[in-house]
Every structure is written in structure tokens, then in C-alpha cells.
Amino acid sequence: MAVNLKGRSLLTLKDFSKAEIEYLLDLSKDLKQKKRMGIKGTLLEGKNIALIFEKPSTRTRCAFTVGCVDEGGHPEYLGKNDIQLGHKESVEDTARVLGRLFDGIQFRGFKQDVVEKLAKYSGVPVWNGLTDDYHPTQILADLLTIKEQFGYLKGLNFVYVGDGRNNMGNSLMIGMTKMGVNFKVIAPKSLWPQPDLIQVCQEYALESGAEIVCTEDVAQVEAADVIYTDVWVSMGEEAQAEERLKLLKPYQVNQDLLEMTHKPETIVMHCLPAVKGYEITEDIFEKHAQIIFDEAENRMHTIKAVMVATV
């Protein structure tokens, strides 16, 4: 089946089929090989890309900028004080202005409905660089990294440990179940994903042959191929820090947890930035640093693939 993503937005991986995600991963791999060989692309030549940031960023900002320049495009950074988005001007009107001037728009901020309005009113592809609900470009990088490590995705056991109801927990569950990867959340019950999202992902899992498990029992990490964690306190939730740290202390990714997998080949992943000593110990982080920073680099290759495929 030929895949054509021209003109499409990436707001959440819910909107993309398994075949479309596979196409993006294959394209990412190809663009990564070309980059390694020093082959510059021209696929975004003459294209202007708006990069809107309400939240600060290292990987997302750099990945979009470098990816765009690599393919001959022009990225324009727009910080929260640079434009009137939702302040003096409605999101709808800003979207209509930017859509006239740019060929694609990246948005990284708080509300999912802002990125959805940008996509609805701009008339150009819009990419979600992170909202409170979803982080789809990170998941593409994660899937590429896992594929590089194991050579395949379907049937692997993926375990997410920590805050299971943040944008990463949500997006990983969507991405893994779409691709046939067994998805397990190990977290306090109050931090499990929302039941309605679990229900949606159960349907993806049924189609792909994956399983979803939510548990509070850390010993259920047994047989994990991949252990994934993220910060315990997300951006904007700093007020809950003390309570969150107390709640999540038993869910730290450490040597004891890793030994419970009974699999010496289990890999550990982290979307970064990491707060070492909290969600992950320094020794485990450093032991798996090569994979974690492959994952960070793969943000750029997968984001480049998304821009190229949709613009």
C-alpha cells in the first residue's frame, strides 16, 4: 500500500495507522543513513517552518531546527513573547496568519486544543512538539531506537515505570499498541492512564495483537525487553513535587528493579531531561546512556521524516 502523508498534521499518533507509522520509521532510517554519509537533502528547499514554543526545549527545538536546515528549509523560532498567540490575538487568527506565511508549523506548549486549532485554521501541516496530553514526535524516536536495538517491534515487552498518566505515558501506550508491542504501566493506581484512553488503546492492541496491563506491582517488570521512565514531576506540576516524589519512590529504575526482569539484555530508555537519583539512578542511566542518547539523536531523524513526508 502506497503511503502519502502530504498535507497531514501530526497532533497525536491516534490519527496514524500502523502502515503510516512504519513508513515514517523507514523514512527516518533512510534520512539517518544519508546524514551519516554527509548527504545533504533538498526536500524542504524553499520551505519556511514556524517553530512556536510556549515551553522551553532542548531536543525538540534543536531537532526541528537541524532537521529543517539539513533539508534546505528555513526554521523560524517563535517564543511565547515573540507572537500574540492567544493573548492579543486569538489562536484561530494567529493560525490563519502563519498559514499564509509558512509551509508548516510546530507547536510545543500546554493545551492540546491550541495545536488542534492551529491545524484546523492554518491550512498547513502542524506538528505537536509536546502538549500536556501528547508527545508524538518523541514516540517515533522511541520506536526507531527500539527497532535499531532489537531489529523488530511486534511482540516485544515494553514496561513504563513511574508517572503513567502524563503525556509520555499516554503517547507511549498509543504508539506501542498500534505497533503490536505489549505495553505495561507500573505505577501507583492514581497515576495510571485515563480509562477512556486505555479503552481506545485496547482496540489498537486487539488489532495489532498486543496486550495492555496496568499494575502497582514492581515485580511485574519480569520479562521486560524495554524499561522506560520519565521525570516524576512534569512541567507545570511543580506544586505537587513533594507529594509526587513520596508516591513514586518505590518506582525508581535502579539495579534491583532491573534484576527483577531476569533478562540481562533488557534495555532502559528515558525521553530526557533526567533527574538522576529520582526516577532513575545515575549508575543505571550511565550504563544505558548510549541507547538513551541514540534515542535523543533519533528525535531529529524522525522529526525530519515527519516534516519531509507532510510538507
Whole-angstrom distance, CA of residue 202 vs CA of residue 210? 9
Q: Is 100 a catalytic residue?
A: no
For 72: left if phi > 0, alpha if psi spans -120 to 50, otherwise beta; the answer is left
Catalytic residue among 244, 271, 288, 301: 271
Distance of CA 226 to the CA centre of its chain: 16
Catalytic residue among 108, 244, 288, 301: 108
Catalytic residue among 8, 103, 106, 138: 138
Q: Is position 230 annotated in a ligand binding site?
A: yes
Sheet with strand 212-215: strands edge to edge: 212-215, 182-186, 157-161, 226-229, 267-270
Q: Is position 234 annotated in a ligand binding site?
A: yes
Q: Is position 59 annotated in a ligand binding site?
A: yes
Whole-angstrom distance, CA of residue 183 vs CA of residue 181? 6
Catalytic residue among 8, 288, 299, 301: 299
Catalytic residue among 135, 244, 288, 301: 135
- Evaluate whether 13 touches 177 at the Cβ level (below 8 Å): no
Q: Is 135 a catalytic residue?
A: yes
Catalytic residue among 103, 133, 142, 230: 230
Q: Is position 257 annotated in a ligand binding site?
A: no
Q: Is 270 a catalytic residue?
A: no
Q: Is position 190 annotated in a ligand binding site?
A: no
Q: Is position 167 annotated in a ligand binding site?
A: yes
Q: Is 271 a catalytic residue?
A: yes
Residue type, 43: L
Q: Is position 100 annotated in a ligand binding site?
A: no
Q: Is position 214 annotated in a ligand binding site?
A: no
Q: Is position 235 annotated in a ligand binding site?
A: yes
Q: Is 230 a catalytic residue?
A: yes
C-alpha cell at 262: 531476569
Whole-angstrom distance, CA of residue 184 vs CA of residue 170? 12
Q: Name the binding residues for L-ornithine.
A: 167, 230, 234-235
Q: Name the binding residues for carbamoyl phosphate.
A: 57-60, 84, 108, 135-138, 271-272, 299
Q: Which residues are catalytic?
A: 108, 135, 138, 230, 271, 299
